[in-house]
Amino acid sequence: MKANLKKMASYYKPYMGTFLLDMFFAFVASMISLVIPLVVRYITTNVKNMDTDTAVKTIFVLGIVMIVLVLVQFVANYFITNIGHVMGAKMEYDMRADIFAHYQKLSFSFYDDQKVGQLMSRITSDLFDITELLHHGPENLAISFIKIIGAFIILMNINGYLTLAAFALLPIMFSFAFLLNRRMKRAFKENRVKIAEINTGIEDNLSGIRVVKSFANEAIEKEKFKVGNDGFLNAKKNSYFYMGLYHSGMTAFTMLINVVVIMVGGFFVAKDNVPVADFVTFLLYINVFTDPIKTLIDFAEQFQNGYSGFERFMEMMAVEPDIKDSPNAVKLTNVRGDIVFDDVSFKYNDTAHRVLRHINLNVSAGSYVALVGSSGGGKTTLCSLIPRFYEVTKGSISIDGKDIRNVTIKSLRENIGIVQQDVYLFAGTVYDNILYGKPGASREEVIEAAKLANAHDFIMELPNGYETDIGQRGIKLSGGQKQRLSIARVFLKNPPILIFDEATSALDNESENIVKESLEKLAHNRTTFVIAHRLSTIRNAEHILVLTENGIEETGTHDELMAKNGIYAQLYKWTK
């Protein structure tokens, strides 16, 4: 907890000036609250003994002073509520930016084990209450302690016995608060987990809504959501049980303090040991004293909400990226495209089974290499190792003689273009999605890339041409159109190394022919890896590699492999 609180405090650093002003105004507002009852005491003790004219003048002056104090308090409270809140929102903004940037550093292996809804909760709802905590936390503590200590000093000067009576219940009250706080913390953390699970279910449902409707399984989805929603409700009930005990208990204690003071004060007034004016002032200060206790009650709930979210934030920030630049990494420049796999083996973290075994491969710059084999043979995995989406378990991969682990990840990936079967297009316009390949490119470059990808003609037929909104994940486009946009994106990027991951396998014949033409144009004079599903599409490949669980079983041209009548020949006959 100490480390978390230290990290939380670090977010105040850029806003220290605003924070100190916020604390200053909190101090001013608190001191004014302490002054008002003293004015009442002065009037009930001294003004009543003055002549009428003097009393009226004195009350008028005191009234002016109190009005000025109220105006000062108004300014102080306005700063606290407005500027202070903005400060808290900026700190939340910084945290959200930090965790989003952290997400960008994490590798594929991390995302293989995560659910999008859970990750979204960490960056949205988990940080929601942190604004209130970061702003009001120190401020509420400062105000509360100022009021409690100030009220204690003034009360002691009025009557020590009454003060001791008022403070007698405090040790029991704080012990009660401490015990309930621990249980509330656990309960609120459970709430965070449950809402993250609900977000995961919602994200999964909405992403697959077409599948849901195609199977008419809305009722099943509602039932699945009900399970998660029930879990969240039960977690909320648990947290509210402890919160209810806490609130009602603390309110009861503050009322008991008033009761004790009234009883003891009444006894002293009856014995003429305490003047009535002092007793009235004392009762006013008891309210000043119990008010910060109520503030502490609110702060406890606020702290549990905010801190439980911050803990989950820190849990995610503590995840170290397993693939990152080495200390001496250099930029990969002037890439020709010679790629060498030297005794490469690979297995995923969650399995002892090796996906790739002792792969040795030498691909010359500008070569067109096709990877074939049965599903699960490691074709996609092998290609994913080149841009370091995953790290090799054994051996090394080099580009132009440089081990890819010794070059910066950014420069490595800038030199590799990938066209996948499952095209991902971002919500936005056609133009924005092509521009993603090379941010900052001119409009002429974007249009030229679209033309090279055989996409310009269909784009111009869209309602708004390049400015047409394509919907979430390009839902308004056909499979072939989406694929051509993804190819245009890579054309714009203009990388020396290409990876085609079954880029045409999900398309109809007409779309496949158009996309195939675009791919062949794109692959010209570039080192190209093609993962082939339809073997007829790679007959002209310079090198065909047959991958199995044992590694590269066969290599050669189409004719050479057919002549061997081995694994490739059998696969070709099955898929023909």
Widest CA span in the chain: 124
Please give the C-alpha separations between residue 516 and each of 310, 453, 454, in angstroms, as whole numbers.
50, 10, 10
Please give the C-alpha separations between residue 196 and each of 98, 125, 134, 159, 204, in angstroms, as whole numbers.
19, 8, 22, 54, 12
- The phi-psi region of residue 367 (left if phi > 0; otherwise alpha if psi is between -120 and 50; otherwise beta) is beta
* DSSP assignment of 10-66: HTTGGGHHHHHHHHHHHHHHHHHHHHHHHHHHHHHHTGGGS-HHHHHHHHHHHHHHH
The pLDDT, as a whole number, for residue 340 is 93
Alpha helices of 453-503 — where are they, by DSSP H?
456-461, 479-493
Q: For residues 352 and 69, give the distance between their C-alpha atoms in angstroms, rounded to a whole number.
A: 73
* Contact of 429 with 466, CB cutoff 8 Å: yes
In tens digits, the chain (576 residues) has pLDDT values of: 778 888 888 888 999 999 999 889 988 988 888 887 778 777 777 777 778 788 888 888 888 988 999 999 999 989 988 888 888 888 888 988 898 888 888 888 888 777 777 787 778 777 777 777 887 788 888 888 888 888 888 888 888 888 888 778 878 887 887 788 778 777 877 877 787 777 777 777 776 776 676 667 778 788 878 887 888 888 888 888 888 888 788 878 878 888 888 888 888 888 888 787 778 777 777 777 777 777 776 677 678 778 878 888 888 888 888 888 888 999 988 989 899 999 998 887 756 566 788 888 898 988 888 888 877 778 888 888 999 988 998 999 999 999 999 999 999 988 998 888 777 888 788 999 899 888 988 999 999 889 888 888 889 998 899 998 887 777 778 878 888 888 888 888 889 998 888 766 555 566 667 767 777 777 788 898 988 777 766 777 788 888 887 788 888 888 888 888 888 888 777 765
* Contact of 543 with 370, CB cutoff 8 Å: yes
Q: What residues contact residue 321 under an 8 Å CB cut-off, 6+ apart?
A: 105, 106, 107, 110
The pLDDT, as a whole number, for residue 24 is 92
CA 488-492-495 angle, to 5 degrees, is: 110
Torsion of CA 233, 239, 240, 242, to 10 degrees: 150
Mention the CATH class of domain 339-575: alpha beta
Mention the CATH class of domain 2-317: mainly alpha
Q: What are phi and psi of 545, to 5 degrees?
A: -110, 130
Q: What are phi and psi of 87, to 5 degrees?
A: -60, -45
Give the start-to-end residue ranges of the domains of the chain: 2-317, 339-575
Q: Which two tokens stand for residue 154?
A: 């003034």
Q: What are phi and psi of 377, to 5 degrees?
A: -80, -10
SS3 (DSSP) at 357? strand
Tell me the residue length of the chain.
576
CA 293-296-300 angle, to 5 degrees, is: 145
The pLDDT, as a whole number, for residue 302 is 76
Q: For residues 557 and 63, give the distance between their C-alpha atoms in angstroms, rounded to a whole number.
A: 100
Q: For residues 547 and 377, give the distance between their C-alpha atoms in angstroms, rounded to a whole number.
A: 6
SS3 (DSSP) at 533? coil
Q: For residues 433 and 424, give the distance between their C-alpha atoms in angstroms, rounded to a whole number.
A: 10
Q: For residues 269 and 359, give the distance between their C-alpha atoms in angstroms, rounded to a whole number.
A: 95
* Contact of 497 with 491, CB cutoff 8 Å: no
The pLDDT, as a whole number, for residue 237 is 84
**Chain centre distance of CA 480:** 34
Rg of the chain in Å (alpha carbons) = 35
The pLDDT, as a whole number, for residue 412 is 92
